[in-house]
A and B are shown apart, each in its own frame.
Chain A
């Protein structure tokens, strides 16, 4: 069954087109990675899919129903949609607005009118699962970057949505936490849930997705399997997802070859995937 469908979808910030005539179809239960350089429209597309902003041209449909502003004025539709779709924002700071971590994780279930006994139990479970139970009474604004990210993730995953939208989920996390998060996402819902992840961390692509959509300046430029995308060096270079720069290897020799960056937050290179044509 089709989960999301966009048709000629266009969204502008003033005169700049963030999403430009995008036509895309995402099936239920699929794991899709949206990749693209900064400004390629990934975050805007996630917001459009989550009904936080609306198509200026074209349409977005969720299970066949068009996502329009007036439809969200209807409480029944809005609650049903929010129960099914969860979005984790790129910046954890914007997602933390409650006085304590416990309140933060409980915010979503409260809004969705969960019974309070069940709610408390599920919040405690989520805090344990993300290793943040000891932060339960802390003020979210005073946490470290990694802790904030964990709270932000817990506050959405506690809702156990059928569809999870993730905007750069591993940004601001240390390498161990990144790996734990990837494991959690792979195992989440026994693999039966739909996960749409915006990222430019190519190193995790094959773990988190079985389909990869490449965006460039709001347009769809490729839609293939992660393995095929990762093999297409020309596409990755053209869309600014890899670049060549000089660096040292263990031998001390300095050379240059196309280079994959693992995430925006890391200054040093992540997994180095040398160009096969490079003999060094």
Chain B
């Protein structure tokens, strides 16, 4: 194997291992924040799931930017009182959503007919006022919806999220797939980490570009195959202990005073947002 020493680009295996380790930590991060003891953490998971979903629907129905912005501001405030780091939210939720939605919304800037505000230098493509409005609405709605979804996932143990979805009538197949996906991600990351560490233990120096691509391509296939095989075994291990698709957790759901108040607040705020944004 040929190696190139020293360059940042050359430390491919080290960077991949560090990245996988970080991804594993991120996946498990929600389990830590779910027990942080903030406002949303104390709430019944069904109220949270139903209430936050109502706000997502309100953001989707609202036709005025101030109404969407108000829901977004409410989501940020809920994150703050639930002891979630806004920096983490910005890095893991808002930035990612901005990039992906931005790519989807970009054509609307140029293709929507209307008043031309600006022309791209060199290409001459027109950015229209109507296109900008359409893209802004799409991005703000998606940012708001993903923030609300993140609030649910980051303040509720995953098994309780799944159980609350079942309580709200989501079909068992869908919930079981979500449950398996979480386990699959952990297995995939763990297997990838072992593979790259094993590769590193047999390599000296940094890999050259072509070698990096070869390692990445070969690893991807083996990784998927191994992780798929292991996730099948995980499902068998669940079946062996009596799993029949239904999500069961130790603690029963009980509605407390806070939950009834929260339910009323979510319903009122969602209705107000729809009314104000009509």
Chain B CB within 8 A of A99 CB = yes
Main secondary structure on B side of the interface with A: helix
Most chain A CB within a 10 A radius of its CB, from B157, B241, B249: B241
User: CB-CB < 8 A to A111: which residues of B?
Assistant: 241-244, 248
| Bound-complex Cα distance A141 to B183 (A) | 11
**A52 CB, nearest partner CB in chain B, Å:** 5
Within A154-177, the residues touching B (CB, 8 Å) are 155-156, 159
Main secondary structure on A side of the interface with B: helix
User: CB-CB < 8 A to B57: which residues of A?
Assistant: none
**B276 CB, nearest partner CB in chain A, Å:** 39
User: CB-CB < 8 A to B157: which residues of A?
Assistant: 99
Within B152-206, the residues touching A (CB, 8 Å) are 157-159, 183, 186-187, 190
Q: Are B230 and A82 in contact (CB under 8 A)?
A: no
Given contacts A103-B250, A110-B248, contact A82 B233 (CB under 8 A): no
Chain B CB within 8 A of A98 CB = yes
| Bound-complex Cα distance A78 to B241 (A) | 10
The interface size of chain A toward B, counting residues with CB under 8 Å, comes to 34
**B81 CB, nearest partner CB in chain A, Å:** 24
**A5 CB, nearest partner CB in chain B, Å:** 20
User: Which stretch in A20-28, A88-96, A246-254, A258-266 binds the other chain?
Assistant: A88-96
Within A42-87, the residues touching B (CB, 8 Å) are 47, 50, 52, 75, 78-79, 82-83, 86-87
Q: Are A99 and B159 in contact (CB under 8 A)?
A: yes
Q: What residue of chain B has the Cβ atom nearest to residue A140's Cβ?
A: B186
Chain B CB within 8 A of A112 CB = yes
Q: What residue of chain B has the Cβ atom nearest to residue A152's Cβ?
A: B237
Q: Are A103 and B159 in contact (CB under 8 A)?
A: yes
Given contacts A82-B242, A139-B31, contact A110 B250 (CB under 8 A): yes
Q: Are B241 and A159 in contact (CB under 8 A)?
A: yes
| Bound-complex Cα distance A156 to B244 (A) | 17
Q: Are B250 and A155 in contact (CB under 8 A)?
A: no
User: CB-CB < 8 A to A112: which residues of B?
Assistant: 242
Q: Assign chain B's interface to a size class.
A: 20 to 34
| Bound-complex Cα distance A92 to B244 (A) | 21
Chain A CB within 8 A of B93 CB = no
User: CB-CB < 8 A to B183: which residues of A?
Assistant: 97
| Bound-complex Cα distance A103 to B31 (A) | 13
Q: Are B241 and A94 in contact (CB under 8 A)?
A: no
| Bound-complex Cα distance A99 to B187 (A) | 14
Q: Are A75 and B240 in contact (CB under 8 A)?
A: no
Chain A CB within 8 A of B239 CB = yes
Chain B CB within 8 A of A18 CB = no
Q: Are B237 and A82 in contact (CB under 8 A)?
A: no
User: CB-CB < 8 A to A217: which residues of B?
Assistant: none
Chain A CB within 8 A of B28 CB = yes
User: CB-CB < 8 A to A141: which residues of B?
Assistant: 28, 186, 190
User: CB-CB < 8 A to B190: which residues of A?
Assistant: 93, 141
| Bound-complex Cα distance A119 to B248 (A) | 13
Q: What residue of chain A has the Cβ atom nearest to residue B243's Cβ?
A: A111
Q: What residue of chain A has the Cβ atom nearest to residue B252's Cβ?
A: A116
Q: Are A99 and B242 in contact (CB under 8 A)?
A: no
User: CB-CB < 8 A to A78: which residues of B?
Assistant: 242, 244
Q: Which of B159, B230, B250 contacts A94 (CB 8 A)?
A: B230
Can you list 26 residue pairs at the A/B interface with Cβ under 8 Å? A50-B240, A75-B244, A78-B242, A89-B233, A89-B237, A93-B190, A94-B236, A94-B237, A97-B183, A97-B234, A97-B237, A99-B157, A99-B158, A107-B238, A107-B241, A107-B243, A108-B241, A108-B242, A110-B249, A111-B244, A116-B250, A119-B250, A139-B28, A139-B31, A141-B28, A142-B28
- Give the top 7 A-B pairs by smallest Cβ distance, nearest first: A111-B242, A108-B241, A94-B233, A82-B242, A95-B237, A110-B248, A87-B240
Known: A91-B230, A110-B248, A119-B250. 16 other contacts (CB 8 A): A78-B244, A83-B242, A86-B240, A86-B241, A89-B233, A89-B237, A93-B187, A93-B190, A97-B234, A97-B237, A111-B241, A116-B250, A142-B28, A156-B240, A156-B241, A159-B241
Measured CB to CB, the residues of A under 8 A from B are: 47, 50, 52, 75, 78-79, 82-83, 86-87, 89, 91, 93-95, 97-99, 103, 106-108, 110-112, 116, 119-120, 139, 141-142, 155-156, 159
Measured CB to CB, the residues of B under 8 A from A are: 28, 31, 157-159, 183, 186-187, 190, 230, 233-234, 236-244, 248-250, 252
